[in-house]
Amino acid sequence: MLAFTVYFHISTSEHRSFSNERTSNRAVLFTESIPGWFYLIFVVFFLFRGIIWASSSGNNVGYHPIDMLIYDAQSQYDAYLRDAAAGTTLDQAVENYRKRYSRYPPPGFDHWYRYATERDTVIIDSYDSIHRDLVPFWSLSPEEVRYRTKQLLQNPWHNATGISVRDGKAATSTRVVDDHWSTMSSLVDMISAFSEWLPDMDLAFNINNEGRIAVPWETQARKPQKAEAAGEVSAPRPQFSTNRAAQWEPLPNYNTEEQKMQDLGWQSIFHSHGSAHCPPGSPAREQRNWDRGSLCSSCAAPHSMGLFPANWTELSDVCHQPDLAELHGFYNSPSAFRTSYELLPLFSQSKAPGFDDIL
Ligand SMILES: *[C@@H]1O[C@H](CO)[C@@H](O)[C@H](O)[C@H]1NC(C)=O
Ligand SMILES: *[C@@H]1O[C@H](CO)[C@@H](O)[C@H](O)[C@H]1NC(C)=O
């Protein structure tokens, strides 16, 4: 616009000198009368444009959302690192643990601390994930945890393999299916590296890839409070209790009659199990996404900035995303899914959000 004004000014001046030469009075009158009203129109026009631009610029983003998301992620990551290794001595690490998780760390924490610091581990104070997985089990008595482990392991149909730790040595305790021999032996090797510090116990490992324990919201809701209460009163324990081996019943002691699980392989499991942990009234439990041909934008809105996923915590919360029922193969048609609504102590390699397997 400005360039056009300048051009017009120059061309009228040229015209003027040209007309002077021709000494045409009418032409001089015409060209000299232009600047006054014409420039005024331009000024008014620019003011008008300026006002429109200023009032609408609130809707435009002057930066790319990715730049902002990268900036946010970097500052969160820095904050996490500062938070994850706040303690510089064992005593501080114990104190941080107690503050964060309302209980003292388990016996043998000093061995872990030494192991981690000798290897310059940057994460010393953060146990959120394992804490979240284990909290529900504080609502069960130790006898009950042992009993449920045995129930899982005594029927091979459950697709779980046992690992026992006795006198500081780890070994498989039930029959291992051929396909899973290498997985189980690497697991035993991994545990053997620190098994001298472990108490005697049996563990049940899920040999399928899918997570399987889906405790519904209605039962889980009461558990955290109970668990936190148990944590607050627990005093630090320097040692594990003794004579533990006798408390575990001998394995294997197969009983193929009792099935603690349901087989739902190749079926749609989102509404029955995938969203079972969601609160009543949440979209995942209430809504069905019938229109499979188009994007459910209300399902994506809570975790998005424009078109981009913005918040990973929100993104991995399935409770506002009923559209996942048809979007993810695990929810749509898991190839293996022997599952339970009961809180069973099963260690798994992976799980979908909200499942209660121990990772
Ligand atoms: C799970 O158990 C069934 C029946 O016992 C068996 O046929 C299947 O091979 C097992 N799955 C795996 C992954 O081993
Ligand atoms: C992501 O969502 C979680 C849960 O709603 C919230 O606590 C957290 O502050 C959010 N993070 C960002 C960067 O907005």
Q: Which residue has a Cα nearest atom 13 of ligand 1?
A: 208
In angstroms, what is the span from residue 71 Cα to ligand 2's centroid? 15
Residues 316-340: tens digit of each pLDDT: 999 999 999 999 999 999 999 999 9
In angstroms, what is the span from residue 349 Cα to ligand 1's centroid? 16
Residues 40-51: tens digit of each pLDDT: 776 677 776 766
DSSP β-ladder status, 201-206 and 346-347: parallel
Among all bound ligands, the one having the nearest atom to the CA of 210 is 1
In angstroms, what is the span from residue 357 Cα to ligand 1's centroid? 19
Residues 231-263: tens digit of each pLDDT: 555 677 778 888 888 888 888 788 888 899 999
- Relative orientation angle of helices 109-118 and 90-101, to the nearest 10 degrees: 120
DSSP β-ladder status, 308-309 and 201-206: unpaired
Confidence of residue 17 (pLDDT cuts 50, 70, 90): very low
Q: Is residue 313 within 8 Å of residue 73, measured between CB atoms?
A: no
Among all bound ligands, the one having the nearest atom to the CA of 155 is 1
Give the mean pLDDT of 184-195: 94
Nearest atom of ligand 2 to the alpha carbon of 72: 13
Q: Which residue has a Cα nearest atom 14 of ligand 2?
A: 311
Indicate the helix (H) or strand (E) that contains 43. helix 34-56
Q: Closest by alpha carbon to 159, among 346, 357, 352?
A: 346
In angstroms, what is the span from residue 294 Cα to ligand 1's centroid? 37
In angstroms, what is the span from residue 311 Cα to ligand 2's centroid? 6
Q: For tokens 């300026």, what's the residue? A: 50
What are the boundaries of each domain within the chain? Answer: 2-55, 127-260+345-359, 268-333
Residues 261-311: tens digit of each pLDDT: 999 999 999 999 999 999 999 999 999 988 888 889 999 999 999 889 999
314 CB less than 6 Å from ligand 2? yes
